[in-house]
Amino acid sequence: MEVRPARGTFRRLYTFSNVPRANDVTPGSGARPSGTRTTKVGALHQPLTAVVLKAIRQAIVTGLYAPGQRLVEEDLAAEFDVSRAPVRESLHLLAVEGFVEIEPRRGARVATFSRKQADDLFVVRLTLEGLVAQLAAERRTDQQLTELRRVAAEGLAAAKAGRTDELPALNTLFHQTLADTADNAILADHLSTLSSMIQWVYAKRIRERLTDSWSEHMEIVEAIADRDPERALKSARRHVENAWVAYVGPQEA
């Protein structure tokens, strides 16, 4: 039996003026990611495929579409008020990214993130995020440190208050700010490529590590504040290792 999107779902939650983005959250403001407008996709003056692609990806990452759920072109096109062409192209691009699986004669479905894929992602994160923290400790400015502290404090406050809907965007913002502080464009580009996949994994285990994750972020920031590259590297790697164990389960780690 096919599970199809409820009518109006995307117009309410994932119209393209309100797809949650990291920059929608102002650190320290306590505000949630913005999103109340209901402009149809077909009315927006943007490349349709890019806009449809972004919204479907975000719906998958945040769990609106569950792993294994079928994505029916006709229904998505109706919800977005676009033709089926940009929907079809978006689904094929998402298949290349690993978010969607397309089966001959059966169509598209949300991909299931395998244990092997998770392990591969965490191995890469160990290296990249450790290096980012190390470079940030060496290169940070006072202004960048202030921003890191603001974002980390906002995330920890949201976690303690149980405002889990704010955390994926804040987590992305934290890691974007950290990458900017490292001041290495090539490294930042690699992390940007993995950003949506990391957010997908983060969202799946958000409750298991609600405050722990953000306490670890604070430890990374304090090592950067002390200009201690070795401690920043170790703190970042420990953070990724703990997230890895939480994702696969301690019995599988």
Report pLDDT digits (tens) over 37-91. 334 555 555 688 999 999 999 889 888 899 999 999 999 999 888 999 999 999 9
pLDDT at residue 142 greater than cutoff 50: yes
CA angle, 251 as apex, 122 and 209 as ends, to 5°? 55
pLDDT at residue 173 greater than cutoff 60: yes
Q: Which of 59, 26, 60 is nearest to 173 (CA)?
A: 26
Q: What is the pTM of this model?
A: 0.73
Give the pLDDT score at 175. Answer: 95
Topology (CATH level 3) of domain 115-248:
Four Helix Bundle (Hemerythrin (Met), subunit A) (1.20.120)
8-state DSSP, 25: S
- Same fold for the domain at 9-110 and the one at 115-248? no
Q: Are 100 and 111 in contact (CB under 8 A)?
A: yes
| Per-residue tokens: 239 | 């953070």
CATH number for domain 9-110, candidates 3.30.70.1340, 1.10.10.10, 3.40.50.10420, 1.10.1060.10: 1.10.10.10
The domain spans of the chain are: 9-110, 115-248
**Start-to-end C-alpha separation, the chain:** 35
Q: How many CB atoms lie within 10 A of CB 65?
A: 23
